Chain A
Amino acid sequence: MSTAAMNMNAQLEHLQSKHVGTGHADTNKFEWAVNQHRDTYASVIGHNTLIAYSAVAENESIGRKKFEMIEKMLQPCGLPVPRDD
């Protein structure tokens, strides 16, 4: 039974690990936050209303805002935190 459990877990984990942005028990705050930031940018860029809103708020063109956000995706939270182990 334990093997069956292992298999099923392993399968699910494998499936999940195929997606970018998923985490695991050893994910730290920095990694999680980076994903959050990237998702946030992607979401804002993807929704016309959101990008227009932020463009109006900052008095920038929509295109520039998009560009800035895509640029920021590179290192949204700054340099990575060295891992403990």
Chain B
Amino acid sequence: MADDLDAQIRAAQAARKKEKTADKASLVGDVSYDQDLYGGRGVERFEGYTTSIPVNDEDEEDDMFAKKAKKLSSYTAPKQVFEEMASMEDDVDPMENFRPSRRIADRESEYHARRLNRQLSPERIDAFSGQPANSEARSYAEVMREAELDREQAQLQRKIQEKKKEEEENMKELASSGELQIRAQAQAAAMVEKAKAAAAAAAASADGPKKRRWDQNGEGKTSEWEEDEKSTGGKSRWDETPKEEVPARKRNRWDETPVDASASAWDATPKKQSGAATPGGKRSRWDETPVGITNQFAATPVGNMGLMTPTPGQIPVPMTPEAVNAMRWEKEIDYRNRYLTDEELDAMFPTEGYKILEPPATYVPIRTPARKLMATPTPMAGQAGGFMMQEEDRNQMYDVPPEIPGVGGLQFFKPEDMQHFGKLLDQKDEAELSVDELKERKIMRLLLKIKNGTPPMRKTALRQITDKAREFGAGPLFNQILPLLMSPTLEDQERHLLVKVIDRVLYKLDDLVRPYVHKILVVIEPLLIDEDYYARVEGREIISNLSKAAGLATMIATMRPDIDHVDEYVRNTTARAFSVVASALGIPSLLPFLKAVCRSKKSWQARHTGIKIVQQIAILLGCAVLPHLKSLVEAIAHGLEDEQQKVRTITALAIAALAEAAAPYGIESFDIVLRPLWAGIKKHRGKGLAAFLKAIGYIIPLMDAEYANYYTKEVMIILIREFQSPDEEMKKIVLKVVKQCSATDGVEPQYIKTEILPEFFKHFWVRRMALDRRNYKQLVETTVELAQKVGVAEIASKIVEDLKDESEPYRKMVMETIDKVVSQLGTADIDHRLEVTLIDGVLYAFQEQTVEDVVMLNGFGTVVNSLGLRVKPYLQQICSTILWRLNNKSAKVRQQAADLISRIAVVMKTCGEEKLMGQLGVVLYEYLGEEYPEVLGSILRALKSIVNVIGMSNMTPPIKDLLPRLTPILKNRHEKVQENCIDLVGRIADRGAEFVSAREWMRICFELLDMLKAHKKGIRRATVNTFGYIAKAIGPQDVLATLLNNLKVQERQNRVCTTVAIAIVAETCSPFTVLPALMNEYRVPELNVQNGVLKSLSFLFEYIGEMGKDYIYAVTPLLEDALMDRDLVHRQTACTTVKHMSLGVFGLGCEDALLHLLNHVWPNIFETSPHVINAVMEAIDGLRVALGPSVIMQYVLQGLFHPARRVREIYWKIYNNLYIGSQDGLVAFYPRIENDQRNIYERYELDLVI
């Protein structure tokens, strides 16, 4: 065989020699560049060759330089412009409708949507600035009073509601007792009246009550409007009333006056109002008229004329985004369904054969006003005032991004943006505007650019707005940013950008933000509970920066009123925000406040929120709470005995969070809560008990062994009682606590066996538990934890029978548990009887799968591997199962069977079942024609595992048959197939290359080149290694020839991989077999080839390390040439080579060559291209190691004090590198500096001579 191979190689080489002609550049005969493509041998051959690499690959480092070098053939627009144009064309996405909406409002839950109920309250007085505040700003006292009113009102509502319910029940009783229906109705009416009166009284006493929230308004009605609201199914159309200051569903507050649309949204004094508006002062919301709005969707659709005289100034702005959308839609429908005109009909019908009939005399056109209104569109906002013909509006003006004066072309402009930015379109003369208005427009323009602009526009705008932040002032900035963030059509990207603006602006504004802290919080707090992780992080960052800018006092003063807010949503977000403040400013500074809040006597909500803050702090800060653990626990401890159930629950949860964060330290801090906790679990039931148990579950692991044992026994009684709780949440917590308790040291296995296990298995190991994903996981975890204590046999014997259960999910759960338990603890204590049942059960469960699941496969594999030699009696049975399943119709089943082979191959070998494996090998070989790539990949993997364990020579089918079957499979493009195939081929090349002819290996080499394109790194690495094995097997020449030829290809990745392969070939076959051909290839006048050669050299010297000392003199002339080349990449790659080379030969006496190379490297220090300068610096660093710091120091001294700054800069940079690398080594080589009259510079210590 070997003789045959040698003969082949010799023959091939002889053939090549014959072929070789003197004028070819390449040493390796069959590799030469195409004369047609690259030109002849004359002077002109340099003209045609590629001087640049494709431009579209942006991250291709070579390109950067190539682009620069390329001469302009003609003047044309910049590249970005083309790219932009190109990207605009394929803007239309056919899948648009099927994608999940990017709008935040569309995907958030009802709870999240409650953020829209919050309002951007007026500014607050900055009590710490010492400056007179804006007259509209509210003080802390006012805010607190208002919060108080809110609460009272909510209470009142609740009372009314309760009363109402009571009445209804009475009513029912009456009705059922045979009273007359009419009487009942009268009664009901009276009740309603009464309730109304009560509410009115409440309103009066509350000094103008706020409108109640939708989540609280029950049946209690107070006015017609409320009735109206009810009739529309809870969603009031008044809520929809578009008001500029309160975008969409926002509610108006009684103390806020409605503002005309064209006035600034934040200007609290209305500038232009309808006659109904009361001037200034506090108004009840009841007498509020929607102003400045052309509202088509209001209760009475009368068009804007009906409401007020249209003022010319209020043209485009006011409509809610929903309204705009609806309107756009409706307009289109209207247009499509419009009446056909006579001309159109004439055009449609043939001129002959038809007759136009007179309308019957009795026909009267419909003149009911309602229909009339439908037919003729009311003039709407966004169009010039007055009536307009429908046709003229055919091109929807919003669809095209308009050119906005002073902004330029935007990426997009949504109709919703009109609401905020419409003002920019009103074409007013800038000269007429006041300074404030100009400023407002300026901000608006910048924001629009940031929100809708192209990335470069966005960048400059962001910088401008940051730089000018203090000039603009906090008020104008936030008054525009914040409403945008509240917009219901906001998308993720927009939110991200706006939040970024706030972040940047915060830094600049610093304490100027104080009056706006609350407004910002209202907008940012919802981010803290967003489902998107990044949004949460962003929110935390903003609040943290905000608290640093505004200071602790302001933050507390601002958020204090929200702590006992009526709305749970507000309290929740406030608690989270407070925890962020604590993490930003430190827990100690917030502690006094927390203590006070947690003890608040005024309302339980305040206590609840205070304790929740502590919980959130624990979750957010983790182990950083440890230093303050004691004070935090003390602050909330009393909550365990609070009168309010909710407070007790949250306290227990907070303690659980603290214990989790502190684990495994800090048990002494929890001393004070132990007693109430234990008392609590005896007292409470249901949800409260669950929370208490959770707290205990987290505290027990912190305890010493004996305490843990004692407390576990105490709590276990309760736990076992709760085993039978039907409540899902309780089940999960109980399981978790059992897991935590049994994991502690103090708990004895005997105790678990006798006390816990029987009940545990009775209640939890039931089919129902397998159905819920979270229960399933928790149960498996807990059981595994218990097994750690009581051993495998105890657990396995209890559940192994269930492997034959009829419910598949349950079997799966059993299998997963057995898998985990066995893989952690082994099968040593499983006796023979259990072993039989186990294998039997596993086989049954494996065969009976209806859905092929990796859980079953893993379980099977784990059990077989763990049993090892003991599985021998069952192997025959297992193999027949596998064989049967390999022949199955379903691809999944076949794949799983093949996967199982690769898992148990090692065990089969251990059991000495080579013959069986041979059989499997042949069967797998026969299935290599498999068409499903997933299955084929698995089959290849199974083959590989068999080859691995039984060796090349014993393999059936023989390798010489197997490999030729694999060659075509290498062409398969599926990743799994490729990976397994290349692994198998590489394995054969490594261990059994002699079984296959050299020609076959060369064929494989060519196939392998394609695999260098693979996306998966593993495949590329395996390919490159396989080149090494093949080269070793058949000699490097032919492989090298193939590889060198491949350096000419265009793809960068392909070339890079080729260079790596060349280096590996050189490494495996000794460099001297490769270097001559490689260096000769450098003579090919082609950029890619030369760079490839240099790169190969770089990898080569990296791999061969100190072996490089024998080759350094050989390659020096080549590197010399490369370091003097005009092409940057040449120099860069040569520098990298020098680095690897010098690091390899450090201390081996090659200093002369290295110094020579240093002289060539050094002139490159002034390069500006980042990659080149990096490579140069690294080369110098490598040379520092090899030559010693003194040599480099002598070079550096030339330029440290050069008159030109540019020179000094780079020299100091090199000096710094040198200094950091060899600080001590430099001491002896600093130049002598002579003393002057002022200072002593001589280092006399170095002059001592004995």
Contact = CB atoms under 8 A, between A and B. Distances in A.
Contact of A40 (B1177, B1246, B1250): B1246
A33 B1241 contact: yes
A61 interface: no
Contact of B1169 (A5, A33, A42): A5
Nearest to A16: B1216
Given A40-B1245, A41-B1245, A79 B1238 contact: yes
Contacts of B1248: 53-54, 57-58
Interface stretch (B957-965, B1013-1021, B1040-1048, B1225-1233): B1225-1233
B1233 A33 contact: yes
A60 B1144 CA distance: 44
A5 B1224 CA distance: 31
B1213 interface: yes
A22 B1223 CA distance: 10
Contacts, number: 91
A83 interface: no
B735 to A, nearest CB: 49
Nearest to A43: B1227
B478 interface: no
Given A1-B1169, A21-B1223, A56 B1212 contact: no
A81 B1233 CA distance: 15
Nearest to A17: B1216
A27 B1174 CA distance: 23
Contact of B1239 (A30, A44, A57, A69): A30
B1208 interface: yes
Given A1-B1170, A16-B1216, A23-B1212, A54 B1245 contact: yes
Contacts of B1250: 53, 56-57
Interface string A7-40: 1110011001001011111010110110011011
A46 interface: yes
B263 to A, nearest CB: 42
Nearest to B68: A1
Contacts of B1215: 22-23
Of B1233, B1241, B1249, the most chain A CB neighbours within 10 A belong to B1241
Contact of B1170 (A5, A13, A41, A56): A5
A22 B1227 contact: no
B1216 A46 contact: no
B182 interface: no
A23 B1227 contact: no
B1230 A25 contact: no
B372 to A, nearest CB: 63
Interface string B1157-1199: 0000000000011100110010000000000000000000000
B1226 A39 contact: yes
Contacts of A40: 1227, 1230, 1243, 1245-1246
Nearest to A78: B1239
Given A1-B1170, A46-B1224, A36 B1212 contact: no
A23 B1216 contact: yes
B1224 A43 contact: yes
Chain B contact residues: helix, strand, loop or mixed:
helix
A16 B1213 contact: yes
A63 B223 CA distance: 94
A24 B1212 contact: yes
Nearest to B65: A1
Nearest to B64: A1
A62 interface: no
A4 interface: yes
B1212 A39 contact: no
Contacts of A8: 1170, 1173-1174
B1070 interface: no
A58 B739 CA distance: 72
Nearest to B1230: A36
A19 B64 CA distance: 33
Interface string A67-85: 0010000001111010000
B1240 interface: yes
Given A22-B1216, A57-B1248, A39 B1170 contact: no
A23 B1213 CA distance: 8
A40 B1239 CA distance: 17
Nearest to A76: B1240
B201 interface: no
A48 B6 CA distance: 64
Nearest to A51: B1245
Given A16-B1220, A23-B1215, A33-B1233, A77 B1241 contact: yes
Contacts of B1168: 5
Of B1169, B1213, B1245, the most chain A CB neighbours within 10 A belong to B1245
A58 B64 CA distance: 61
A21 B1174 contact: no
Given A1-B1170, A25-B1212, A36 B1243 contact: yes
B1233 A39 contact: no
Given A5-B1168, A5-B1170, A22-B1219, A81 B1212 contact: no
Contacts of A25: 1205, 1208-1209, 1212
Contacts of B1213: 12-13, 16
B1217 interface: yes
Contacts of A57: 1248-1250
A8 B1241 CA distance: 35
Of A5, A13, A30, the most chain B CB neighbours within 10 A belong to A5
Given A33-B1233, A53-B1250, A39 B1227 contact: yes
A4 B1168 CA distance: 11
A8 B1173 CA distance: 10
Interface in B3-40: none
A78 B1245 contact: no
A81 B955 CA distance: 83
8 contacts: A16-B1217, A21-B1219, A25-B1209, A43-B1224, A53-B1250, A69-B1245, A79-B1238, A81-B1239
Q: Lowest 3 A-B CB distances belong to which pairs?
A: A57-B1248, A25-B1208, A16-B1216
Given A8-B1173, A78-B1239, 17 more contacts: A1-B64, A5-B1170, A16-B1213, A19-B1216, A22-B1219, A23-B1215, A25-B1205, A25-B1209, A33-B1233, A40-B1243, A43-B1227, A53-B1248, A53-B1250, A77-B1239, A79-B1238, A81-B1238, A81-B1239
Interface of B: 64, 1168-1170, 1173-1174, 1177, 1200-1201, 1205, 1208-1209, 1212-1213, 1215-1217, 1219-1220, 1223-1224, 1226-1227, 1230, 1233, 1238-1241, 1243, 1245-1246, 1248-1250
